C-alpha cells in the first residue's frame, strides 16, 4: 500500500525508476564489477577473477541482500556477501580495498547522471513549448502590472520569452553542474587509499573511466556533500521558476482578470459543491510542490557538515532527499509543460483589461513625449500626474483631462494625445527582444513528438 504520494500520485515512471531500490542495487553491483575490472587492469587482482566477477555478479539478488541485511544490519556488506555468494572463488576479491561509501557514493553518481539526463530532456521540451508560445503571442499587447496595479503595456510574447530565458539558464546550469555531481571515488577507509597502496589513484581514475563518471580530486571516507547540495539547489531553482510561472498563471486566471485559463477537460470537475468552477489546480499543485523541493536545500547543506572523516547523519537524510526532490521536480516540469502547451488565451479579456483605466496607465508615454517636445521632464511628470489623479477621481478618460490642460496642448495636439495613449503604440522593442530570445535559445530545444 503506497505511503508517500511520489509512489503513485506525483512523478513519472522513468524518474521513479532512477531512484527505486532495484536501480540502486543495480548501480551498486555495477560499481563493484567495475572496481574489479579497474584493479585487474592495474595489476592488483587476477584478470581471470575480474572476468569471472563481471560474468557472475549480475546474478546477485536484491532479495537475498535484504535477507542478509536483516541478519547483519549493514546494507553495503549485505550486498558484498550477496555478490560473493554468486561469484565462487573469484568472490574473494569483491570490495577489495574499498569502503562502503566508495561504492555507495559512486553508485549515487551513476543515479545522478541518469536523473540529469531526464531533467535535461524535459527542460529542453519545456523550453520548446515556451518559445512556441512566445512566437505565437509576440505581438499580443496586454497590460503590464507592477505592485498588482496596471502599468504600461507589455506583450504576452515578452512574458513567455522571459520564462523561456530562465529555463534556458537552467539548462546551462545543468551542464555546468554535471562534472561536479556526476562523480565517484575509490579512496578507502578515511581517504588515503592505503589498502591499494601506490596504485590507488590509478585504480580510481580507471574505475571512473569505465563508469563514465568524473573522479574526485580528493576525499575522506565520503564524497564531500557540497556537490550534492548544489544538485538540490539546482532542483530548488528550477522548481522556483515553475512556481513563479504558476503564480502568474493563477493570477491571470482570476475571474476579474480572466486573460488565460489552464486546459480543462470536458468531464473535469472543478468543485464538489460549486458546479461552475474551473480552478487552476495544476498550477496550484506546482506551486505547492515547489515548497517541498526547496525544503530539501537546508538538510542537503547540513549533510556537508559531518564529524571528522565522516559520520552517518547524512545517510538517512539522503535516502529521503534524493528520490523525493528529484521525483517532485520532474513531476512539476512535466505538469507545467502540459499546462503551457494547452493554455487558453482570452484575447477579448486582454483587450478589455488594456482599456480598463481609459488611458491613465499610458501616462508615461505622454510624459516622455512632452519632454521630447521641450517641456522640462519633471514639469511633464507633474502635469501628467495631476491629470491622471483627476481622471481617476472623476472617472474620465485621461485624454479628456489632458486636452483641457493649456500647458500640455501647447506641445501635443488632441490627435497626438490619442495616439500617445494607444497601448498598441507603446511596446518598445518587445517584439525584437522576443525574436532575439527565440533565435538564441531555439538550438537548445527538442521536439515534442
For residue 394, give Cα distances in angstroms to 57, 171, 383, 399, 401. Answer: 84, 51, 17, 13, 10
Alpha carbon 180 to its chain's center: 17
b/e burial code for range 62-78 (CB count within 10 A of at least 16 → b): bebbeebbeeeeebbeb
Element (H, E) at 449: none
- Active-site residue, selected from the candidate residues 147, 272, 276, 316: 147
Smallest CA-to-CA distance from 152 within 412, 378, 372, 360 is with 360
Strand partners, 345: 260
Q: Read off the C-alpha cell for 316.
A: 538517512
Residue 147 annotated to the active site: yes
Residues 175/162, Cβ–Cβ less than 8 Å: no
Element (H, E) at 315: helix 313-342
Catalytic pick among 4, 61, 74, 271: 271
Residue 272 catalytic? no
The grid cell for 64 is 537475498
Q: For residue 333, which of 245, 439, 445 has the smallest C-alpha distance?
A: 245
Quick one: DSSP state of residue 240?
H
Rounded to whole angstroms, how far apart are CA atoms 46 and 89? 12
Q: How far apart are CA 141 and CA 14, in angstroms?
A: 40
Q: Is the dihedral of CA 61, 66, 72, 73 positive or negative?
A: positive
CA separation for the pair 132, 109 (Å, rounded):
35
Alpha carbon distance 264, 278 (integer Å): 7
Q: For the beta carbon of residue 99, count every other beta carbon within 10 angstroms.
A: 21
Cα dihedral across residues 125, 128, 133, 134: positive or negative: positive
Question: Which residues are catalytic, by number?
Answer: 147, 271
Amino acid at each position: 500500500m503506497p505511503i508517500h504520494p511520489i509512489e503513485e500520485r506525483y512523478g513519472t515512471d522513468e524518474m521513479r525508476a532512477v531512484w527505486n531500490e532495484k536501480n540502486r542495487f543495480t548501480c551498486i553491483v555495477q560499481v563493484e564489477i567495475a572496481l574489479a575490472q579497474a584493479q585487474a587492469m592495474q595489476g592488483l587482482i587476477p584478470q581471470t577473477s575480474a572476468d569471472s566477477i563481471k560474468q557472475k555478479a549480475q546474478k546477485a539478488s536484491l532479495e537475498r541482500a535484504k535477507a542478509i541485511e536483516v541478519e547483519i544490519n549493514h546494507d553495503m556488506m549485505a550486498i558484498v556477501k550477496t555478490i560473493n555468494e554468486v561469484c565462487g572463488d573469484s568472490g574473494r576479491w569483491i570490495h577489495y580495498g574499498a569502503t562502503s561509501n566508495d561504492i555507495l557514493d559512486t553508485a549515487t553518481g551513476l543515479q545522478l547522471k541518469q536523473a540529469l539526463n531526464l531533467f535535461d530532456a524535459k527542460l529542453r521540451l519545456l523550453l520548446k513549448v515556451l518559445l512556441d508560445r512566445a512566437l505565437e503571442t509576440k505581438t499580443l499587447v496586454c497590460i503590464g502590472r507592477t505592485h498588482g496595479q496596471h502599468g504600461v503595456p507589455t506583450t504576452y510574447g515578452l512574458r513567455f520569452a522571459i520564462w523561456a530565458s530562465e529555463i534556458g539558464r537552467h539548462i546551462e546550469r545543468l551542464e555546468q553542474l554535471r562534472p561536479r555531481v556526476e562523480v565517484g571515488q575509490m579512496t578507502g577507509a578515511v581517504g588515503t587509499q592505503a589498502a591499494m597502496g601506490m596504485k590507488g589513484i590509478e585504480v580510481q581514475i580507471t574505475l571512473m573511466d569505465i563508469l563514465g563518471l568524473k573522479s574526485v580530486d580528493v576525499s575522506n571516507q565520503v564524497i564531500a556533500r557540497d556537490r550534492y547540495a548544489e544538485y538540490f539547489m539546482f532542483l530548488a531553482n528550477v522548481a522556483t521558476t515553475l512556481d513563479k510561472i504558476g503564480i502568474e498563471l493563477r493570477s491571470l486566471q482570476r475571474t476579474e482578470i480572466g486573460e488565460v485559463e489552464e486546459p480543462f477537460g470536458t468531464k473535469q470537475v472543478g468543485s464538489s459543491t460549486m458546479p461552475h468552477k474551473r480552478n487552476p489546480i495544476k498550477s496550484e499543485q506546482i506551486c505547492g510542490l515547489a515548497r517541498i523541493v526547496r525544503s530539501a536545500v537546508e538538510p542537503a547543506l547540513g549533510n556537508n557538515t559531518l564529524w571528522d572523516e565522516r559520520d552517518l547523519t547524512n545517510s538517512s537524510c539522503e535516502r529521503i532527499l534524493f528520490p523525493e526532490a528529484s521525483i517532485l521536480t520532474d513531476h512539476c516540469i512535466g505538469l507545467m509543460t502540459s499546462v503551457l502547451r494547452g493554455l487558453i488565451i482570452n484575447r477579448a479579456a486582454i483587450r478589455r483589461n488594456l482599456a480598463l483605466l481609459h488611458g491613465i496607465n499610458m501616462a508615461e508615454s505622454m510624459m516622455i513625449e512632452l519632454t521630447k517636445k521641450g517641456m522640462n521632464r519633471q514639469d511633464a511628470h507633474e502635469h501628467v500626474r495631476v491629470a491622471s489623479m483627476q481622471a481617476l477621481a472623476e472617472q474620465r478618460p485621461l485624454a479628456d483631462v489632458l486636452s483641457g490642460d493649456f500647458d500640455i496642448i501647447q506641445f501635443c495636439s488632441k490627435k497626438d494625445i490619442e495616439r500617445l495613449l494607444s497601448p498598441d503604440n507603446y511596446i518598445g522593442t518587445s517584439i525584437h527582444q522576443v525574436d532575439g530570445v527565440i533565435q538564441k535559445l531555439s538550438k537548445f530545444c527538442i521536439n515534442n513528438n
